[in-house]
Amino acid sequence: MADVDAARRELEEALGTTEVLSDPLALTLYARDAAMVEGGCALVAFPHTVEDVVACMQVAARHALPVVPRGSGTGLAGGATPIGDALVVVTSKMDRILEVRPEDRLAWVEPGVLNLDLANAVAPLGFTYAPDPSSQQTCSIGGNVNTNAGGPHCLAYGVTSSHVLAVDVVLPDGTVERFGSEAPEAPGYDLRGILIGSEGTLGIVVGACVRLTPEPPAVRTMLLDFSAVKDCAATVSSIIAGGVVPAAVEMMDHGIIVAAESFAHAGYPTDAAAVLLVEVDGLPEAVEAQSRAVENAARDHGVRTIRVAADDAERALLWKGRKSAFGAVAQIAPHYHLHDCVVPRSKLVDVLAGVYEIAGRHDIIVTNVFHAGDGNLHPLLSFDRRIPGTLERVLSASEQIVRLCVNNGGSLSGEHGIGLEKRDFMPLMFSEVDLGAQACVRAAFDPEGRMNPHKVLPAGARCGDFAMARGTDAAQAAQSIPEGSWI
């Protein structure tokens, strides 16, 4: 049993008493993120500096406390949900933009800097930070790094991994390392690449060097409105198959359109079965050509109307509805369960039909708002936990939806991560050997297994099973590997 009280005293000594929480009610507020599983923790710490984080790691190591890093707590997979006597290290107070260097198209930021604050800070210089998760006004860069966050504009610009040049990390043993560099290549394995998307299981990100993207000279945002979901989905495949990659292609179905419209008043057609929000950018000539291609694809699939945003204000309004869609679903029911599967774009029509069917069979309301261009679904099951039996129906439907996606060649998560909620689905995609290899990566960073335990990998996955050759006679080990286990 860890000596939490001693750990608290040492943390207070290092960080100051106001920066460590141990009151039960205060701890409750850090027991979950935006997903639907709640845990608990023993301590919460607010580091202000890299040294503070190092101190947190050292104290945790001394007292064998699990460590759970947390940014803004907007995660949708329970990645920041602490369990047991965890120390939650909240990086929200490390929120300075340290340096903006237009000549290298990069900026150094602390992990608590909010995504939108960064984008706004570099806008006057003609740059943007391309990954734009829907929670961008709230989510932090540290959190983005840990989930390899996406967003509508990642269709053309790529996910976080393509926009983070280097990360400063405090490893579980308290050492500080910089993975990646300002230069395009760095010595060693791409530990930066492994760390991005590792959901806080390898270390705590204390700084990031992000790539800045020049603002496109011209942008056009279009709202395409359809009377059938399948036409809408087919349009997406058609656009991409035509060799056009818009900056963003987002889809919203009827339920979401109604909820989002009630908040954003964006003028969404509330009688539509589905809409596509398409943005194209580039030189004016390219914008023109891409718009034509998009409009043609939409007409081929019976689009009802095409609304082109007349100015920045209208554009912002069209996006406001999209980006607040998740938050708006409480209008439908108080709880939601959300998946984040990615499927091949050509399977969108079939998979969506399947999702509606499964939800219908389980008598659960499902709405869809997602990155259609990437094939990244967000089937959102709305329910009221207070009605007995509902949660069980939701979980059953949820498993069937995930299986449907994986059976169609899909992936479990496009941008939210696996966290706690989806870890038991991992064997649907990966063999035991695959998972063992992943466990080895984790163990290489965190041999004691104290970083964000229970996350990402299912309970069974162990490095030991994989690297059984270690420390034994290699020849003997090779013999002992059961025939066939390597395929």
Q: Which of residues 177-236 bind other proteins (CB under 8 A)?
A: 177-179, 181-191, 193-194, 196-198, 214, 217
For residue 113, the minimal CB distance to other proteins (Å) is 11
For residue 413, the minimal CB distance to other proteins (Å) is 5
Give 95's contacts (C-beta < 8 A, 6+ positions apart): 110, 112, 113, 114, 117, 140
Give 192's contacts (C-beta < 8 A, 6+ positions apart): 164, 165, 166, 167, 179, 180, 186
Q: Which is nearer to other proteins, 307 or 339 (CB)?
A: 339
Q: Which is nearer to other proteins, 60 or 456 (CB)?
A: 456
Q: Which is nearer to other proteins, 26 or 305 (CB)?
A: 26
**CA dihedral sign of residues 293, 295, 297, 299:** negative
For residue 230, the minimal CB distance to other proteins (Å) is 16
Residue 80: both structure tokens together: 């920041």
Indicate whether 329 belongs to the interface with other proteins (CB under 8 A).
yes
For residue 82, the minimal CB distance to other proteins (Å) is 9
- The binding track of 6-45 with respect to other proteins, each residue x by CB under 8 A or -, is -----------------xxxx-xxx-xxx-xxxxx-----
Per the DSSP assignment, residues forming a β-bridge with 295 are none
For residue 32, the minimal CB distance to other proteins (Å) is 7
Indicate whether 49 belongs to the interface with other proteins (CB under 8 A).
no
**CA dihedral sign of residues 54, 60, 64, 69:** negative
Report which DSSP code applies to 296.
H
Q: Which of 65, 118, 142, 147 is in the footprint of other proteins by CB under 8 A?
A: 147
Q: Give backbone dihedrals phi and psi of 369, rounded to 5 degrees, phi first.
A: -140, 120
- Number of residues binding to other proteins, judged by CB under 8 A: 168
For residue 18, the minimal CB distance to other proteins (Å) is 10
Greatest Cα-to-Cα distance within the chain, rounded to the nearest angstrom: 71
Q: Which is nearer to other proteins, 6 or 241 (CB)?
A: 241
Q: 150-179: which residues touch other proteins (CB under 8 A)?
A: 150, 154-155, 158-159, 161-162, 171, 177-179
Q: 411-450: which residues touch other proteins (CB under 8 A)?
A: 411-418, 420-422, 424-426, 428-431, 433-435, 437-438, 440-445, 447
Q: Which is nearer to other proteins, 227 or 432 (CB)?
A: 432
Q: Which is nearer to other proteins, 304 or 432 (CB)?
A: 432
The CA-to-CA distance between both ends of the chain, in Å, stands at 41
- Give me the helix-helix angle, 254-264 and 312-323, nearest 10°: 120
Please, what is the Cα angle at 285 between 276 and 225, to 5 degrees? 15
**Can you list the alpha helix ranges (DSSP code H) found in 301-347?**
312-323, 325-328
Stretch that binds other proteins, among 1-9, 301-309, 349-357, 386-394 (CB under 8 A): 386-394
For residue 302, the minimal CB distance to other proteins (Å) is 20
Indicate whether 457 belongs to the interface with other proteins (CB under 8 A).
yes
Q: How many CB atoms lie within 10 A of CB 133?
A: 26
Beta carbons of 163 and 131 less than 8 angstroms apart: yes
Residue 65: both structure tokens together: 């406390």
- The binding track of 246-265 with respect to other proteins, each residue x by CB under 8 A or -, is -------------xx-xxx-
Q: How many CB atoms lie within 10 A of CB 485?
A: 11
Indicate whether 330 belongs to the interface with other proteins (CB under 8 A).
yes
Q: 103-132: which residues touch other proteins (CB under 8 A)?
A: 103-106, 112, 114, 116-117
- CA dist 158 and 149 (Å) reads 10
Q: Which of 137, 308, 353, 365 is in the footprint of other proteins by CB under 8 A?
A: 137
Burial of 25: CB neighbours in 10 Å, binned 0-12, 13-18, 19+: exposed
The Cα-based distances of 319 to 115, 136, 342 in angstroms read 16, 12, 22
Beta carbons of 456 and 446 less than 8 angstroms apart: no
Q: 335-354: which residues touch other proteins (CB under 8 A)?
A: 335-336, 342-346
Q: 294-323: which residues touch other proteins (CB under 8 A)?
A: none
